């Protein structure tokens, strides 16, 4: 009759990574014989030379130790579960280390992780599990910074970091893994040095590249857990789909202004990100943190939750955020939890998936279409060209569509402020007989303003300042503050 054997993480390297294996058996001993006949390398870790179960390997049938039943002759019934539990109490420690396949801890590491070791939920075996684990972090920004630092401090043995950006001054308000001296450095280099300083006992692998459909599966194959610290929809859907296709848990976090979300998407055990959000919002509908801002401590809180969930997954905890979405509001200091369910119609993890390989996620999120159509519908001007035309005393009116608090931070001389949300209602304040240049921080909101004005029937010529006031500061006047 069919029974299921649960293989602990320490022994999954001998079962090809499988955690649950179904066998036909009538006793616990028959089930283990069937298992070890399939995975010969596993046998020497369970049995001694006399073909007896090793003293430091415990076997449970439906949560009952077979030593207190009939041993290997303990009967099993259809649908029963057998759990193999390598013991950390009893036996010779060095032998147990070999049997479990977990790395030993040096005296220095024991001293470093002592506060973990005295916790029964972690203990010596749990800390060795952390040392044996491998985690890939996508991004070393607001979320990746605290996540990486806590995982390094916790002793996760191998950390991979993927990023292709460089450190900027505006990062330092929240990306605590980087410092002032790191401005201009690749983020993976800055993060690597900080993590090594936190814990020289771990291995850090840097991948200075953009995560794409071409390299994601190859990167993910070398790690057990993926941590999503991304800040855009194409990469978020790419991470999700690659995790589903490779069978990896996806430790998710997202942040905006004062609000954050966290979950663990693991298709093997429940919902994936697409079950929650089948499709991305239209391009530009949801502002980025660069446009909307983010409270500096918020990614620290959400990133710490991601680190906690990652550690719990490594330790084998059952009460994780799988099938739960945690919402956090820092302004009101409130948490709320929502239940998630696997969508049987999900295109990537459902009963009849249609996404069986990684796709073009820029196109899926509508960004390629937006980029290709933009030149035909949006006239743009560079900051340098605008400066030249102003110096030539050309009759231009410049409309700033940012918010008043942004206008207070920095402004282009001679501009008129009409926030994006008011631009159509205040259309009469813009002279259609004059050529109009519209700008915001980076050019996204001003493009929306131009589109809204055209749809409202504005007849004048509208030109978008490419790169917004940020480009003006970079190319024309560095005294204009960048934020």
HEC assignment per residue over 267-288: CCCCCCHHHHCCCCCCCCCCCC
Class of domain 133-369: alpha beta
Note the pLDDT tens digit of each residue in 320-339. 999 999 999 999 999 999 99
The number of beta carbons lying within 10 Å of the beta carbon of residue 414 is 9
Residue 252: name the closest of 348, 171, 150, 327 by CA.
327
Looking at residue 483, its pLDDT comes to 87
pLDDT at 183 over 60: yes
Confidence check: pLDDT of 248 > 70: yes
Q: Summarize the confidence of residues 238-243 as an average pLDDT.
A: 96
Residue 289 designated active-site: yes
Q: What is the pLDDT of residue 94?
A: 32
Residue 115 DSSP SS3: helix
- 227/274 Cα distance (integer angstroms): 16
Number of continuous H segments (helices) and E segments (strands) in the chain: 19, 18
62 vs 381: which has the higher pLDDT: 381
For residue 232, the SS3 value is coil
Q: Tell me, what's the pLDDT at 292?
A: 73
Q: What is the pLDDT of residues 462-481, one digit of tens each?
A: 999 999 999 999 999 999 99
Mean pLDDT across the chain: 89
Measuring CA to CA, which residue among 259, 254, 278, 272 is closest to residue 322?
Answer: 272
pLDDT at 371: 42
pLDDT tens figures, 388-434 = 999 999 999 999 999 998 999 999 999 999 999 899 999 999 999 99
77-86, 154-163, 179-188, 346-355: the lowest-pLDDT one:
77-86
pLDDT value, residue 11: 75
- CA atoms of 237 and 243, how far apart (whole Å): 10
Q: What is the CATH number of domain 378-475?
A: 3.40.250.10
pLDDT tens per residue across span 258-307: 999 999 999 999 999 999 988 887 766 556 666 678 899 999 999 999 99
**Calpha distance 92→471 (Å, rounded):** 66
Q: 3-class SS at 238?
A: helix
Contact 292, 256 (CB under 8 A): yes
Under 8 Å between Cβ of 461 and 435: yes
What is the domain partition of the chain in residue ranges? 2-101, 133-369, 378-475
225: nearest Cα among 323, 306, 331: 306
Q: CA angle 274-275-279, nearest 5°?
A: 40
Residues 231 and 423: their CA atoms lie apart, in Å, by 28
Residues 6+ apart with CB under 8 A from 453: 423, 424, 427, 430, 462
Report the SS3 class of residue 325. Answer: strand
- Measure the CA–CA gap between 481 and 401, rounded to whole angstroms: 17
Whole-angstrom Cα distance, residue 345 to residue 352?
A: 7
Query: What proportion of the chain, given as a percentage, has pLDDT over 90?
Result: 71
Nearby residues of 115 by Cβ (< 8 Å), 6 or more positions away: none
Mean pLDDT across the stretch 130-153? 97
Q: 372 falls in which pLDDT band (50, 70, 90)?
A: very low
Q: What is the pLDDT of residue 55?
A: 65
Q: Considering the candidates 289, 346, 349, 365, report the single residue annotated as catalytic.
A: 289
pLDDT at residue 46 in the model = 84
440 flagged as catalytic: yes
Compute the distance between CA of residue 148 and CA of residue 195 in angstroms, rounded to an integer: 7
Which class does domain 2-101 fall in?
Answer: alpha beta
Question: Pick the catalytic residue: 272, 346, 349, 440?
Answer: 440
Q: Is the pLDDT confidence value at 44 over 90?
A: no
Pick the closest to residue 439 from 476, 295, 171 (CA basis). Answer: 476
Rounded to whole angstroms, the Cα distance separating 336 from 329 reads 9
Ranges of H-type helices in 432-467: 444-455
**Is pLDDT larger for residue 27 or for residue 48?**
27
Report CA 60 to chain centroid distance, whole Å: 35
pLDDT for 56 equals 64
Report how far apart, in Å, the C-alpha atoms of 213 and of each of 120, 199, 208, 245, 416 are: 41, 32, 16, 12, 44
Q: How confident is the model at residue 92 (pLDDT cuts 50, 70, 90)?
A: very low
CA distance 28 to 44: 17
Confidence of residue 88 (pLDDT cuts 50, 70, 90): very low
Neighbours of 307 (CB within 10 A): 26
Considering only residues 94 and 381, tell me which one the structure prediction assigns the higher pLDDT. 381
pLDDT at 85: 76
CA dihedral for 159, 142, 256, 448, sign (positive or negative): negative
Q: How far apart are CA 478 and CA 472, in angstroms?
A: 8
Lowest mean pLDDT among 93-102, 363-372, 407-416: 93-102
Q: Which residues contact 243 (CB under 8 A, 6 or more apart)?
A: 220, 226, 249, 250, 265, 266, 267, 272
Does residue 311 carry a pLDDT above 80?
yes
450 vs 6, higher pLDDT: 450
d(CA 299, CA 317): 24
Quote the pLDDT of residue 9.
67
Residue 95 has pLDDT above 80, yes or no: no
Rounded to whole angstroms, the Cα distance separating 14 from 42 reads 5
pLDDT band, very low/low/confident/very high, at 83 (cuts 50, 70, 90):
confident
């Amino acid at each position: 009759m069919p029974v299921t054997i649960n293989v602990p993480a320490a022994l999954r390297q001998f079962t090809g990574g499988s955690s649950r294996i179904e066998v036909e058996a009538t006793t616990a001993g028959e089930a283990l014989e069937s298992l070890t006949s399939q995975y010969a390398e596993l046998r020497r870790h369970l049995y001694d030379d006399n073909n007896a179960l090793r003293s430091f390997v415990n076997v449970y049938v439906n949560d009952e130790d077979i030593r207190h039943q009939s041993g290997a002759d303990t009967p099993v019934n259809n649908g029963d579960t057998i759990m193999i539990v390598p013991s950390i109490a009893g036996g010779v420690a060095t032998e147990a280390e070999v049997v479990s396949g977990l790395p030993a801890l040096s005296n220095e590491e024991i001293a470093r992780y002592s506060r973990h070791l005295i916790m029964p939920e972690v203990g010596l075996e749990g800390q060795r599990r952390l040392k044996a684990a491998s985690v890939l972090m996508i991004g070393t920004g607001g979320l990746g910074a605290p996540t990486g630092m806590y995982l390094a401090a916790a002793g996760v043995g191998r950390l991979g970091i993927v990023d292709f950006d460089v450190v900027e001054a505006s990062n330092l308000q929240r990306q605590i893994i980087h410092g002032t001296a790191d401005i201009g450095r690749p983020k993976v280099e800055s993060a690597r040095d900080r993590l090594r300083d936190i814990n020289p006992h771990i291995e850090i692998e840097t991948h200075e590249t953009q995560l794409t459909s071409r390299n994601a599966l190859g990167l993910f194959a070398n790690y057990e857990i993926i941590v999503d610290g991304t800040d855009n929809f194409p990469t978020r859907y790419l991470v999700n789909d690659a995790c589903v296709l490779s069978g990896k848990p996806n430790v998710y976090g997202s942040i905006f202004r004062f609000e954050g979300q966290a979950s663990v998407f693991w298709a093997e055990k429940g919902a994936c990100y697409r079950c929650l959000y089948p499709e991305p919002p239209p391009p530009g509908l949801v502002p980025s943190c660069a446009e909307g801002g983010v409270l500096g401590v918020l990614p620290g809180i959400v990133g710490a939750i991601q680190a906690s969930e990652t550690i719990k997954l490594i330790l084998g905890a059952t009460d994780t955020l799988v099938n739960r979405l945690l919402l956090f509001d820092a302004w009101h200091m409130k948490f709320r939890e929502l239940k998630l369910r696997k969508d049987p119609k999900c295109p990537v993890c459902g009963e009849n998936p249609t996404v069986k390989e990684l796709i073009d996620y820029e196109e899926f999120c509508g960004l390629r279409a937006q980029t290709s159509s933009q030149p035909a519908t949006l006239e743009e001007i560079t900051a340098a060209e605008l400066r030249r035309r102003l110096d030539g005393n050309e009759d231009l009116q410049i409309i700033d569509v940012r918010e008043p608090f942004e206008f207070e931070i920095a402004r282009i001389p001679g501009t008129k402020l009409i926030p994006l949300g008011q631009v159509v209602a205040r259309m009469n304040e813009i002279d259609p007989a004059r050529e109009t240049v519209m700008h915001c921080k980076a050019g996204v909101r001003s493009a929306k303003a131009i589109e809204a004005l055209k749809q409202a029937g504005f007849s004048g010529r509208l030109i978008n300042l490419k790169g917004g006031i940020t480009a003006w500061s970079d190319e024309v006047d560095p005294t204009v503050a960048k934020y």
